[in-house]
Amino acid sequence: MTQPVRLSKRVVEIAGCSRSEAEQYVQGGWVRVDGVVVEEPQFKVLDQQVTLDPDARLVPAEPATMLLHKPAGQDPAQAASLLVPDQRWPDDPSGWRLHTRHFAHQAPGMPLEPEASGLMVLSQDGRVLRRLKEDSEKLEQEFIVEVTGELAPYGWKRLTGGTSYQGWPVAAFKVSWQSETRLRFAIKGVRPGLLQFLCTEVGLQAVAIKRIRLGRVPLSKMPPGQWRYLPVDERF
């Protein structure tokens, strides 16, 4: 009786390539077993039909960075659970091919507070996560904050005149009214509770917070709960 063999070995037989090249083909999502894409080179096959995509290219398996529209109330530590194939934004402009391996070991960078919504970054790439950590004080973030209450006398001057929070000076920032109940902040060095504190200082209460930009990367029109890839040429 014929014994099962690794999928990568079968690809070597089909394509006449090396083992390492066969593994790249499999990990790149170019190999189908009975019509279904399989991305694990160690997957065992027996008499199934194994086919190699005619357009297959040998490219390294790059780690993926994903941009998620985190819903309000979602624990950022659990946000990776929202990264599922069916929730990919249909208008994702990245051009990335979807792979099963992209959903493993996704870690958050500059996470949002649980009650906040908006743009959140998750990545398999240690370089991206390290950059976000090192530049957390320098990257400008943009937020829309829904508020209630009445602006205190001279509150606007106080809000825009500089302050400190938990012993840390708050870097100069820009704030403007978007409507009678909505403020727009462009601010660096955001810490948990900072935006709520700034609103409280001038007689307002922040009832909803949404991050719409991180550095040069916008949330765009992506609906809550959906995600897209960060293109290789898009930088924070």
pLDDT at 1: 47
Q: How far apart (Å, rounded) are the C-alpha atoms in residues 42 and 5?
A: 8
pLDDT at 108: 95
**Domains located in the chain, CATH noted:** 5-52 (3.10.290.10), 65-136+220-229 (3.30.70.580), 141-214 (3.30.70.1560)
Helix (H) or strand (E) holding 200: helix 194-201
pLDDT at 91: 96
pLDDT at 170: 87
The reported pTM is: 0.82
Which residues lie across from 210 on neighbouring strands?
Answer: 117, 144
Contact in structure between 137 and 194 (CB atoms under 8 Å):
no
Give the number of other Cβ atoms within 10 Å of residue 146's Cβ. 16
The tens-digit pLDDT sequence of the chain (236 residues) is: 478 889 989 999 888 889 988 888 888 888 889 988 888 888 998 888 999 988 888 877 789 999 999 999 999 989 999 999 999 999 999 988 888 889 989 999 999 999 999 999 999 999 999 999 999 999 999 999 999 999 888 878 777 767 888 888 888 899 999 999 999 999 999 999 999 999 998 999 999 999 999 999 999 999 999 999 999 888 89
Q: How far is CA 135 from CA 33, 60, 174, 193, in A?
A: 44, 28, 19, 19
Helix, strand, coil content of the chain in percent (nearest 5): 25, 30, 45
